Amino acid sequence: MSLKLLSYNIRYGGAGRESQLADVIRGADPDLVVLQEASDPRVVERLSEETGLKTWAAQRGRSIAYLSRVAVKRHEWHRPRGSRRHFMEIELEGSDLVVFGIHLSAVHSFWTERPICAAQIFSPVSAESRSTTRGSVASCKTTRSGSASLMTAASGASRPDPPYRTL
């Protein structure tokens, strides 16, 4: 399975800018979009409608959400002790690929959240995903708000190291 993944920080929940955000997403034509600062589920629902990415999940107060054109077997938010924010684990249907969406603090994340998130992701996260590092894509990279990174990942990768480019 090959997957075109878009990681997109929509800044401050994205309210009032849904059309512009949808334009960026449609232009990238991704299979899966992981959104950061997506704190308003109504915005994510509208993005789903405007982009045709029918499968989505978001929760008020959690900064990570997703939109997908591929079937999602399950998703789950995790909040490691010591981290300010949740991260999201997304397991795709019919694949051993697991995607992790992370939104780290821009300040001092190298010393605080980044090692905590990395330790949590690369250890068994849940009973259903004991071998999450095989075929996983994870990014602990802190990006500036409003940026989008497009990645391609293939199931069965030996380590999560996909190429990416900033849009």
Per-residue pLDDT of the chain (167 residues; tens, 9 = 90+): 788 999 999 999 999 999 999 999 999 999 999 999 999 999 999 999 999 999 999 999 888 999 999 999 999 998 877 777 788 999 999 988 888 888 766 655 555 555 555 555 555 444 444 333 334 444 443 344 455 555 555 454 433 344 444 44
Residue among 120, 160, 105, 109 nearest 138 (CA): 160
CATH no. for residue 143?
3.60.10.10
Look at residue 131 and tell me if it is in a domain: yes
pLDDT of residue 87: 86
Burial (CB count within 10 angstroms: exposed 0-12, middle 13-18, buried 19+), residue 69: middle
Residue 116, domain extent: 2-158
Predicted TM-score (pTM) of the model is: 0.73
pLDDT of residue 159: 37
Look at residue 61 and tell me if it is in a domain: yes
What is the token pair recorded at 66? 């997703």
pLDDT of residue 106: 63
Look at residue 163 and tell me if it is in a domain: no
Q: Are 115 and 123 in contact (CB under 8 A)?
A: no
- Sequence-distant (≥ 6) Cβ neighbours of residue 110 within 8 angstroms: none
Tokens 């991704």 sit on residue: 30
Q: How many domains does the chain have?
A: 1
Look at residue 112 and tell me if it is in a domain: yes
